[in-house]
Structure 1
Amino acid sequence: MNFPLSHIASLCKYTGISFTAGAITHGFFSEERAFLTAVFGVVIYLVGGTLEKIANPDKDHSWTDVLAIGIVASIGLGFFTGGLQHFPDSPGRSSWVVPVGFAMSLLAMYLMEGKGKIKVKAVLIYGGISLALVIAASLYSLSYFNEHGGDGHGHSHGHGTPAPVITQAMKEVRIEVDDTMRFSPAIWEAQAGEPIRIILVNKGKLDHELVIGTEKEIITHAKEMASPGAKGHHHTNEIAAKPGQQSELVWTFKKPGQYAMACFEPGHYEAGMKGVINVVAKKH
């Protein structure tokens, strides 16, 4: 055994898993940067697996184990750990990412360490029971976070920042929504660098939300929310209101330009629940 090489191999493998997990946590399914991060994580994991085989020539792992199965292992562990981290922010996505990651890691472990050494029946019993428990826990967590909401630590976009301090002189924009799937007003104006108190008033009988972003971000978010099981990401650039209630968000746009707003409750965006925010340069 080559200890220094084994240590470097271990660092690479765990670094790879961390990168893959981080990519899942920060939007693997919607952001190019996160996708590239995941690819980098898989590559680093494979480098670690290769170094581990070189450092331990006596281990009977083939290059197929190191490369092909290594990809399954790195993605599976990344899915599992990244999904766990992201559960409060994205319960819909995490509810299936975590079980899939668990199943992939289980398969990779069996193929690399247990094949030919452990009876298939024993693996199937353990795998079936443990996977059922993971799925049950994921479904419970999905139900809990959908009912109570996440911890609010979502990933806001770079075009603006939430401003927690509310003053009497702050500009207010009151936006009313109902079940006609429209914002009222659907078009309004803001000033760059000026904190705005946005009040979302729900006069309908359905849940509604308001998400702020550039047109590109809104389209990307719409595609993400259309994925199986997706629901409520609790980003800092969104507010939601139950029927008959209202919510508030204090927001400051950093730069002038045209921004968009949308509701991503199931089917609402597709029904036309969207709007435009024209942000003008700060007046001196």
Structure 2
Amino acid sequence: MPPNPPLKGQQLLSSSGLATTPPPAPPQLPPSHRRSARKREGASLPWRYLGYVGYYVGAGLISGAVVHHPMDPARYSMIAGSGVLVFLIATVLNDIILATEKPALSRMLRVLGTSTMLSFGLGMLSGGMQHFADLPDRCAVLIPLGIVLSFVAYFLKEDKRPWRRIFGLMGLAVLVVAALTFAGLRHIAPAMAEGAGGGHSHSDAETKKDNDEGHDGDHGSGTADPTSDPTTPTKDTHPSEEPGHEDGHSH
């Protein structure tokens, strides 16, 4: 005689029991391993802080150098080089030394090259925004160029397939924003140049310096020649001879 088939309710209970089986729990690290991982993370925290300080200091040095470079090329080239060096040291510290997985040589070279691009892009963007009221024509070029350069450099550094983003919809949006920014800043730059003035206007400072040098030259040419002053003749008399004594003994 064939066995009785299972009831419909029993089938539902068995299927529901299979459906509610919890997934296997991930393996837990031993407490000693967790403590050592937290200890390593805490020990690296001050170094990560120094790395982030290096990022901001390096970008700040570059931002000032790219704006003021035409005023003193030799001086501001040295400042920009110092900023790039500080930024690269911070990159090596955060992305290579303190990284959980040590990158290959090709990845290290890519990180260093794109970090240099990123530092200049951020410097152009921040420096142009800061000094637009002082140098509107120059900063109208630096700001959109900094937007594009920082975008390209960041995705080359961080994304595994950067070209899809750079030449995709996001890259097109960044390019449109940069173009509109350039057009808008070039439109208001003449008005900013006419109204530029105040304590940090570099063009006014250079003009004032030239005028002061011209005034100093005028004052120097207008002084009288000390050799042309009339001199008062002096008597060649003996120190012991006095006019009264000379009259009293006149024979």
Pair in the same fold by TM > 0.5: yes
For structure 2, the residue ranges without an aligned partner over 5 or more in a row are 1-40, 225-251
Deviations 1:193-222 (A, max 9, x none): xxxxxxxxxxxxxxxxxxxxxxxxxxxxxx
- Structure 1 counterpart of 2:83: 41
Structure 1 distance, partners of 2:214, 2:206, is 13
Output aligned runs, 1:169-180, within 5 Å.
Answer: none
Is 1:280 the equivalent of 2:220?
Answer: yes
2:49 matches 1:80:
no
Q: Which residue of 2 aligns with 1:236?
A: 205
| Match of residue 14 from structure 1 | 56
What are the Cα deviations for residues 251-278 of structure 1, in whole angstroms up to 9, with x where unaligned? 6449945xxxxxxxxxxxxxxxxxxxx5
Q: Deviations over 1:114-159 (max 9, x none)?
A: 233x671576321221232232123212221203435324767xxx
1:229-260 per-residue CA deviation (whole Å, 9 max, x = no partner) reads xxxx7423449xxxxxxxxx9x6449945xxx
Q: Give, as a single letter, the amino acid of the residue that structure 1 aligns with 2:142.
A: V
Report which stretch shifted further, 18-27 or 53-62. Answer: 53-62
Length-normalised TM-score, structure 2 = 0.60
Identity %, equivalent residues: 25
Is the CA contact (8 Å cut-off) linking 2:66 and 2:127 kept in structure 1? yes
Number of matched residues? 178
Where do residues 140-219 of structure 1 align in structure 2 (5 Å cutoff)?
140-149=184-193, 150-153=195-198
Task: Give the 3-state SS of the residue equivalent to 1:73 in structure 2.
Answer: helix
- Which structure carries more strand by proportion? 1
TM-score relative to the length of structure 1: 0.53
User: Which has more helix, going by share of residues?
Assistant: 2
Is 1:71 matched with 2:116? yes
- Find the aligned partners of 1:78 and 1:58 in 2 and give their Cα distance: 29
Q: Which residue of 2 aligns with 1:198?
A: none
The alpha-carbon distance between structure 1 residues 83 and 109, as it changes in their structure 2 partners (threshold 3 A), is same
- Of 36, 47, 55, the residue aligned with 2:98 is 55
Q: Which runs of 4+ in 1 moved over 6 A?
A: none
User: 1:89–1:235: 8 Å Cα contact kept in structure 2?
Assistant: no
Structure of higher CA gyration radius: 2
Q: Write the distance in 2 (CA, Å) between the matches of 1:253 and 1:3.
A: 53
* Residues 1:28 and 1:124: Cα distance change in structure 2 (over 3 Å): farther
- Deviation, 1:29, is 7.1
